[in-house]
Amino acid sequence: MSKKLFTIVSLLILGSMILSACGPKAKEGTVATGDVVTLYGYSTTEIPTLDPQLGEDVISINYVENLFVALTNYDQATSDIVPEAATSWDISDDGLTYTFHLRGDIPWVKHNPETGEVKQEVDADGNPLFVTANDFVYGIKRACDPNLASYYSSVISPFIVGCADVLNYEDPENIPAEMFDAIGVSAPDAETLVINLPEPAAFFISMTPMWTLAATPQWAIEANGDQWTEAGNIVTSGRYVLNTWDHGVSRVVLRNPLMPKDMQGTGNIERIETNVVPDTSTGYALWLNNEVETSGIPDAELENQLANYPDETVQISDLAVFYIAFRTTKPPFDDARVRAAFAAAYDRSAHVEAVEQGQGLPMKHFAPPGIFGAPPIDEVGVGFDPAYAQEMLAEAGYPNCEGFPQVTLLGYSGEHTLHWIEFAQAQWEENLGCSADLIQIEQQSFSDLLTATNADDAEAPHMWTLGWGPDYADENNWAGDVLYCTTNTRIKRACSEADDLIIAARKETDPDKRIEMYAQIEDMFFGKGGEFPFFPIWLRISFSAQHSWLDAPRSLFGGQQWYNWTIDADAQAAARQ
C-alpha cells in the first residue's frame, strides 16, 4: 500500500476479545468469557502474506502493522515520526549513522487458537523473550537476502551499507557469510540498534516505520519455514495476535493482553473478524444489513448511498495513484513509442468521471500532491493527447493499429476493475483504432496478479493494473522505490540516464534542487519522448460507507492502526439486533 501495492476493494476487517495476563516467568493471557468489542468486516481477497519482510500490498501491510512492532511509527494526526520500539534516536553529524535506543519490555508472544491462551515465548533455559536490537538486525539482514524475493528489499537496500551488495550478488545460493556480516546494521547491546547508511538521506528517518525493517523471530522462522505465519505457529510482537486464518474464507485477530499498557493504543476493539466475499456488492449488502462496520460502495449504489446515508459516508484521499503497467521487455511494448501511444490515448478525466464517478483526480505524472518533490498536478507529463498517441503508434510501425498483435491486459478481481479494463479497451479502440479483440482482458485475485506479473516474459501479461500508495512523504518513494530500474522487477525496464538522476536527487541536500530534479525525472518518464514503463491514471479520493458507531482515524502512511479505532458497542449491538 503502502506501500504499498493497492487493490480497489474494501479491506476493512475486524473483531476482538478480552484477555488477562498471568504467570511467574513468561506471561500468559486467556480469552475472557464475557462480551467483547468486535469489529466485523469483509475483504474481497486473501491476505498475500503476514511476513513483515515480504509484505508489499496494503492488505498484508495492514495486518503486519497490527501484529508486529516497528522501530518507529506515524502519528495519525500529523504524520510525524514517533517512537515505537525505539524510544529515541541519534543521527551522526555526517548523516551516515543512526543509533536507535529501544525499550526492553515488548514480549514475543504466541497464541494458541485451541485454548485461547496467549503465552510469552521463552528461550531454551525458560527465560522470557522480549524484542531486542538483535531481532531488528535479523529482520533487516533477512530483508537484504535475494533468496527471500521481497519487493521491498530493493526499496531499503540503497540506504543500508552492504545491503545492495548482498541483494544483487551474482550467485544468490552461495552468498559468502562475510557479506551478510558486512551489512551495516548492528546491535552493540540488546537495547541499541545502529544502522549505517552509505550516503546521507535526509528522509531516512521517515522510512523507519516500514514493515520491511521490523523485528522478526528468527527461532520461529527457522523452526517452521514457510509455515511460520500460520495460526498456531506465528510468533508476534504487536497489539493483536492471529487467532484463525482460513485461507480464502475468513480470518480473526485478537487483542494481545501482554502488550505493555502504554503501547496498547487508544482504541477499544478487542476482536477483528473478517470474511472473504466474492465482490464489493456482496460486502455492501452486509453493510446495509449492519453486519459489517465499513464497506466500499458499488458504482451503481453511490447515488443512493449519498442520498440516504450522508452521515455514514466518508470520503478518503489516501494519496494512492493507480496505473496500467507494461512488461517493457515483451513485444510490442518493448518499444517506448508503443507504450507512449497507449498512455497518451487514455483519457484520464473521462476515466475519473465514467469509472470512478468523480472520486479522484486525473494524473499525468506519478507522485501526487502532498509528497515532497512532486510536480504540480497539472504540470509535467503528456497526459491525454490522441494526436501524439497516433503519431507514436505510426512511428512504431502500426499506423491506425494495422498489424498490431493481440496483447493481454490483466486486472485484479472485482466489478470496479472490470469496468476499468473495459474502459481501457474502449479508449484504445476509439483513439488508436485497436479493436477490442486485440486487447484480451482477464482478471485474477490480487495475490495471483502479483505472481503472474513477476513471471518471465513468456508467461507474464503484456499489461496489468496496479496502484501505489505512499510509504513516506518524499518523491524518492515514487521515483526511487517504483521507477528505478533495479527496483521494479515486474516492468523490467532497462537502466538509463533517468536512474542516474534518481540517485543524484536522493543524495542532494538542497531541497530546491531536489524539487527541480524530480520534475525532470517525471518528465523523462511521462513527458514527450519519455520511457512510459507504466502510465498513471488517477489519484484516488473515494467514498466509503462507515457506520456511525465506528471511529476509525486513518493513517496516510503505513498500515492502518486498528488499535486506535473505537466502537460504540451499545449502538453497534442495537443495530445488529
Please write the tens of the pLDDT for every residue from 116-143.
999 999 999 999 999 999 999 999 999 9
pLDDT-derived band at 486, boundaries 50, 70, 90: confident
Residue 11 in this model has a pLDDT that exceeds 90: no
Reference 374, options 486, 463, 468; nearest CA is: 468
Confidence at residue 30, expressed as pLDDT on a 0 to 100 scale: 55
Stretch among 92-96, 151-155, 344-348 having the lowest mean pLDDT: 151-155
Confidence at residue 305, expressed as pLDDT on a 0 to 100 scale: 95
The residue type of 349 is S
Answer whether 187's CB lies under 8 Å from 136's CB: yes
User: Full-prediction pTM beyond 0.95?
Assistant: no
Residue 12 in this model has a pLDDT that exceeds 60: no
**Per-residue DSSP letters for 79-141?**
--EEESSEEEEEE-TTS-EEEEEE-S--B-EEE-TTT--EEE-B-TTSPBPB--HHHHHHHHH
Average of per-residue pLDDT across 531-553? 95
Answer whether 211's CB lies under 8 Å from 69's CB: no
pLDDT tens-place string over residues 428-476: 999 999 999 999 999 998 889 989 999 999 999 999 999 998 888 899 9
Reference 241, options 35, 28, 447; nearest CA is: 28
Buried b (16+ CB within 10 A) or exposed e, 49-59: bbbbbbbbbbb
pLDDT tens-place string over residues 212-235: 999 999 999 999 999 999 999 999
Residue 1 in this model has a pLDDT that exceeds 50: no
Confidence at residue 69, expressed as pLDDT on a 0 to 100 scale: 97
Confidence at residue 472, expressed as pLDDT on a 0 to 100 scale: 86
Instruction: In whole angstroms, give the CA distance from residue 256 to residue 503.
Output: 42
Q: What is the CA radius of gyration of the chain?
A: 24
Reference 172, options 186, 153, 198; nearest CA is: 153
Domain boundaries, the chain: 317-540
Confidence at residue 187, expressed as pLDDT on a 0 to 100 scale: 98
Instruction: In whole angstroms, give the CA distance from residue 100 to residue 351.
Output: 46
Confidence at residue 6, expressed as pLDDT on a 0 to 100 scale: 44
Residue 291 in this model has a pLDDT that exceeds 90: yes
Residue 19 in this model has a pLDDT that exceeds 50: no
CATH architecture of 317-540: Roll (3.10)
317 grid coordinates: 484521499
Confidence at residue 34, expressed as pLDDT on a 0 to 100 scale: 53
pLDDT tens-place string over residues 513-541: 999 999 999 999 999 999 999 999 999 98
Residue 553 in this model has a pLDDT that exceeds 50: yes
pLDDT-derived band at 29, boundaries 50, 70, 90: low
Peptide bond into 278 cis (omega under 30): no
